[in-house]
Amino acid sequence: MEKRPCISTGQIFSMLFISKIVISMTYGSLLIGDSDIWDHLVSVPISFLLTFLIVWPIYKLFSMDKKMNIMDNIYNLIGKWGMALIFAYIIYYLVICFHTLAVFNNFISNAVNPPISITFLTFILIICSCYGAYKGLEALARTSSFILISTVFSVVFLGVSLFSGVEVINFTPLMYNGSESVKEGVIYMISQSPCIVALAVLLPMGKGNKKRGIIIWNFLVYLLFAMIIVLIIGSMGDFVYTQLFPVYTAAGIGKFGSFRHLDSLYLGVWISGIFLKLSLFFILASEGIKKVFGEKVKKISIVVFGVMMASVSCFPGFFGILKTSVTTWVLFYFLIFLSLVVPSVLIFIKFFKLKRRNNIED
């Protein structure tokens, strides 16, 4: 019997919450095809409900056999032909790592523009993330508790600092220019939720009430999104639409007593989150490799993933990946396929097999 890491449900969702925050903090109008951010406030409750709908098949599949993750289910129900689907999950997790690195590069080079080699910084990030993944899920889950504490404090601090600058005049009527932005917002918010697919692997590893965990996590994620929208629009007004990373800009102009330039606080939390997210998705991809090639290859695969990421990030064109809105749609369809279609098919097969077995027994 293989030994699986066992972490608490709280730790699972703290990892996923941090992974989501990382993307929320780079949220901006220019990255979503000049969409009206203020209308995204309507997208928040819609995405919140849609997330439950998308998570349901994964949760249902998990609740049918609480010891098996999606890859075990694929292998057991479809057999060797299911390997292609396992590879689809591995590719998705790696795509998320590439996407996260692209966000990182894009953000550092465009918003911060430090006088250091960004490639070198990316390499260090990849090496450290591989180390985090190598240390395993339990280590990462415990680390996430520390990062979550600092993240919550920083977010509250940033929120309070921006709150004093909120002006009601900046809030225009919702959907003034139609509902197109709402749709774009929903697609963006859902596509940037790889955590849903991560749950397919993570749920059997957690101890505790998962249903409650999913509800609280989803609620907090979208509460944070709503807060970010209200605060950046309220404090920056139309200036938001000229900024590539408005949350970062807002953090830079926010002040709390004698504390100024809170963007450094933002950077600290954000980079820790990026580290954690990369490590987590390396682990998830390596779980797939383990299922296909065996336990021995698992740790080596993390190094291979690291080398892949480092090689790709050397290409200058890689950083432009975010500038196309295609990415959002690709991620969206990929997510829907892996979190809605595949688990639903597996549930159907499982149900069918169970029924046939019962008939034979009768």
Partner 1 sequence: MQKFKAEFDNSADLCIKYINVENISCAVITLAGMVNKDTVAISVVNPIIDASVKGETPLEKFNYIKDYIISAVDQTQVCTYEDAFNMIMSGFALFAVDGCDSMVSLGVQGFPIRAVSEPSSELMQRGSREGLVESVNINMTLIRKRLKSPKLKFEVINLGKTSQTAVCLCYMTNKVSKDILEKIKENLSKVNLDMVIEAGYLVPYLEDGGDFSLFSSVGMTERPDTICGKISEGRVAILIDGTPNALIVPYLFVEYFQHLDDYSMHTYFATFTRWLKYLAFFMSTLLPGLYVGISTFNPEILPGPILNKIALAVSTTPFSLMTETIFIHLIYEIMREAGLRIPRPLGHAVSIVGALVIGETAVSSGLIGGPTLMVVALTAISSYVIPNLYEPISILKFIFIIVGGLLGIWGIMIIFTAVLVNISSKKSYGIPFTSPIAPFKFFAMRDILTRCGWSFLSKKNIKVQDLPGSEVK
Number of residues forming the site for partner 1 (CB under 8 A): 37
Residue 109 sits in the site that holds partner 1 (CB under 8 A): no
φ/ψ region of 178 (left if φ > 0, alpha if ψ in -120 to 50, else beta) reads left
Given the rule CB under 8 A, which of 25-33, 83-91, 265-273, 331-339 is the region that contacts partner 1? 265-273
DSSP 208: S
CA 226 – CA 178 distance, rounded (Å): 20
SS3 261: coil
Which of 49, 84, 124, 223 binds partner 1 (CB under 8 A)? It is 124
Given the rule CB under 8 A, which of 7-15, 82-90, 157-165, 235-243 is the region that contacts partner 1? Answer: 7-15
Site string for partner 1, 209-248 (x = CB under 8 A): ----------------------------------------
Give me the half-sphere count of Cα atoms (radius 13 Å) on the Cβ side of residue 54: 28
Contacting range for partner 1; rule: CB under 8 A; set: 39-47, 87-95, 220-228, 261-269:
261-269
> x/- string (CB under 8 A) for partner 1, residues 270-289?
-xx--xx--x----------
List 63, 87, 109, 114, residue binding partner 1 (CB under 8 A): 114
- Judged by DSSP in three states, 256 sits in strand
Burial 257-269 (b: 16+ CB within 10 A, else e): eeeeebbebbbeb
125 makes contact with partner 1 (CB under 8 A): yes
Distance (Å, whole) CA 191 – CA 331: 5
State yes or no: residue 121 binds partner 1 (CB under 8 A). yes
> Partners of 259 in the beta sheet?
256
Residue 5 beta carbon to partner 1: minimum distance, rounded to whole angstroms: 11
Report, in Å, the least distance between residue 135 CB and partner 1.
4
Residue of the chain from 15, 103, 111, 140 that contacts partner 1 (CB under 8 A): 140
Shortest distance (Å) from residue 142 CB to partner 1: 4
Q: CB under 8 A: which stretch of 28-36, 171-179, 257-265, 335-343 binds partner 1?
A: 257-265
Shortest CB 250 distance to partner 1, Å: 16
Distance in Å, CB of 339 to partner 1, minimum = 28
| 205 sits near partner 1 (criterion: CB under 8 A) | no
Binding to partner 1 (CB under 8 A) within 9-68 occurs at 10-11
Q: What part of residues 333-352 is at the interface with partner 1 (CB under 8 A)?
A: none
Of 20, 249, 275, 15, nearest in space to 122 by CA: 275
Chosen residue from 146, 329, 333, 351 binding partner 1 by CB under 8 A: 146
Partners of 207 in beta bridges: 8
Q: How far is Cα 91 from Cα 163, in angstroms, rounded to an integer? A: 41
| Dist. CA 360–CA 212, nearest whole Å | 37
From the list 190, 220, 239, the residue with the least C-alpha distance to 38 is: 239
| Residues 5, 259 contacting (CB under 8 angstroms) | no
Determine the straight-line distance between the first and last CA of the chain, rounded to whole angstroms. 32
Q: Which stretch binds partner 1 (CB under 8 A): 88-96, 175-183, 260-268, 321-329?
A: 260-268
Name residue, tokens 């993933």. 305
Instruction: Please name the residues in contact with 135: beta carbons below 8 A apart, sequence gap of 6 or more.
Output: none
Q: How far apart are CA 101 and CA 94, in angstroms?
A: 11
Residue 5: DSSP 8-state: P
Task: Give the binding site for partner 1 (CB under 8 A).
Answer: 8, 10-11, 108, 112, 114-116, 120-121, 124-125, 128, 131-132, 135-136, 138-143, 145-147, 258, 260-261, 264, 267-268, 271-272, 275-276, 279
